[in-house]
Chains A and B, each alone.
Chain A
């Protein structure tokens, strides 16, 4: 199967053809995939070199002239390194952009910690007005990329990963999808962690919600789920553990409830190796998830 990132350049190249407002800004990474689009649109496919502060600042300048910039590099160099540019050049200037990241939390484990960005979504949570898409399948990535570019002048982050579910679900860029219904609790699976969550909850009497868009957080669907099931919520997120715990608390503020936030651990592993090894090390494989969900929800969870 192809990856989400394999879809990125073809989709955005078509958008460049269709919409004269769209411009792509790159910092070397991903440039080869835009070679053809750059020949057709030399002024709207821009490579600034290995300069990530300029990457975001120039994107903001494009937006100030009325264009819709799509800004891309690895998550660590897109969100963490130029974070003040995201805060000021986009947020404070009151202009929008579509930030599209690759490499996610540990898509390239052999590359080590410098190329890992488990904190990207948590960092964006310190800012106002960001939409955050975390697709779980290349087809979903394609839909959400189109959704992001079409979202007027909104600030939108699209987090692409090599991790993926086997099948795509219909995504609309806003609502969670109810995959299973049960009574003993609600498990919210984000993006590519849906498959391991479905394996982990096989035979359990729980509701499973699928989230490919986490900001804004679909509090309505979560509340609805907790009305039928017990208000015990497990979040399973492919980035920093607990990132959305406070969001769940806000959604259920007037209800006695419990929340368990699972995700990528804060501790630096200092390990290379394979994605599966990092998934297991962070307890995000189906077996570890099953143990932790069982432990949190207790014996009543068994159907």
Chain B
């Protein structure tokens, strides 16, 4: 890879024009064609932005760099915020956003890693990302790549799927300290107890924090806190889906 992120954006002809939080709503409008987005469509938006803008060491210029951080979107449903962030950061050409969901578009209602530049996994069926993230962390460790961090985003209701619990229960005792789970909690699980999400991770030996999922500084602090020897979960609480 020889191009820089900035050069890559120049190829798409938009420079850094969209590389700011305020541009994301406009980018999402290109996909949906309307100006209003309910909380569900944007539940991931702030956390994704803080991650991509300030935390993840990724970029279109290092898509094949073994040392890049890995971000796995496991909750593939409602990916407009994700595509908007990928467009803002120069992974996805802005002019591909309007075709969202159409036959010739790389941007489906669930992302496909083979089609979307920057997408580390395809998702849509819930409960697959966290086990794959565990394997990714193991694979990097086995190759002596101790620097890259692995992040996976799941929804609170997605945690209903038992496959997540296989991964959570393994990763804690295995001490996978490069593994990070971001739970977007919009209270969409039908059966849940207050505080139950962090408690389940903590019981398995994870370092856990629960923060306001709209507060960028709180998200950043939670994302970057140290957690030696343990995987980390950040539960980002946003407005209830049906609230």
Binding site for B on A (CB under 8 A): 20, 23, 25, 43-44, 46, 48-49, 51, 53-54, 56-67, 69, 84-85, 88-89, 92-94
Inter-chain CA distance A24–B131, complex, in Å, is: 16
Q: Which chain B residues numbered 74 to 117 have a C-beta less than 8 Å away from chain A? A: 112-114
Q: Given A58-B131, A67-B143, is A93 in contact with B113 using a C-beta cutoff of 8 Å?
A: yes
Q: A142: shortest Cβ distance to chain B, in Å?
A: 25
A/B interface sample: 5 pairs, CB < 8 A: A53-B127, A56-B131, A57-B130, A60-B131, A62-B139
B residues in contact with A62, CB < 8 Å = 135-136, 138-139, 142
Pairwise interchain contact B136-A65, C-beta atoms closer than 8 A: yes
Pairwise interchain contact B138-A53, C-beta atoms closer than 8 A: no
Pairwise interchain contact B131-A85, C-beta atoms closer than 8 A: yes
Contact of A61 among B66, B127, B138, B169 (CB under 8 A): B138
Binding site for A on B (CB under 8 A): 66, 112-114, 120-122, 125, 127-128, 130-143, 145, 162-163, 166-167, 169-170
Q: Which residue of A lies closest to B131 (CB)?
A: A57
A residues in contact with B131, CB < 8 Å = 53-54, 56-58, 60-61, 85, 89
Contact of A94 among B114, B136, B163, B170 (CB under 8 A): B114
B residues in contact with A43, CB < 8 Å = 138, 141-142
Pairwise interchain contact A54-B170, C-beta atoms closer than 8 A: yes
Pairwise interchain contact B139-A85, C-beta atoms closer than 8 A: no
Pairwise interchain contact B139-A61, C-beta atoms closer than 8 A: yes
Contact of B135 among A59, A84, A92, A94 (CB under 8 A): A59
Q: Given A53-B166, A54-B166, A61-B132, is A88 in contact with B139 using a C-beta cutoff of 8 Å?
A: no
Inter-chain CA distance A67–B166, complex, in Å, is: 22
Pairwise interchain contact A58-B138, C-beta atoms closer than 8 A: yes
Interface of B is mostly: helix
Q: A69: shortest Cβ distance to chain B, in Å?
A: 8
Pairwise interchain contact A57-B125, C-beta atoms closer than 8 A: no
**Max chain B CB contacts within 10 Å: which of A49, A59, A62?**
A62
Pairwise interchain contact B143-A54, C-beta atoms closer than 8 A: no
Pairwise interchain contact A64-B163, C-beta atoms closer than 8 A: no
Pairwise interchain contact A88-B135, C-beta atoms closer than 8 A: no
B residues in contact with A89, CB < 8 Å = 128, 131-132
B residues in contact with A85, CB < 8 Å = 128, 131, 163
Inter-chain CA distance A57–B167, complex, in Å, is: 9
Pairwise interchain contact A93-B134, C-beta atoms closer than 8 A: no
Q: Which residue of B lies closest to A20 (CB)?
A: B143
Pairwise interchain contact A51-B136, C-beta atoms closer than 8 A: no
Pairwise interchain contact A51-B166, C-beta atoms closer than 8 A: yes
Pairwise interchain contact A64-B120, C-beta atoms closer than 8 A: yes
Q: Given A48-B170, A53-B163, A94-B114, is A61 in contact with B128 using a C-beta cutoff of 8 Å?
A: no
Q: B171: shortest Cβ distance to chain A, in Å?
A: 9
B residues in contact with A23, CB < 8 Å = 138-139, 142
A residues in contact with B128, CB < 8 Å = 57, 84-85, 88-89
Inter-chain CA distance A84–B127, complex, in Å, is: 11
Q: Which residue of A lies closest to B136 (CB)?
A: A61
A residues in contact with B122, CB < 8 Å = 88, 92-93
Inter-chain CA distance A113–B162, complex, in Å, is: 24
Pairwise interchain contact B143-A60, C-beta atoms closer than 8 A: no
Contact of B125 among A60, A84, A94 (CB under 8 A): A84
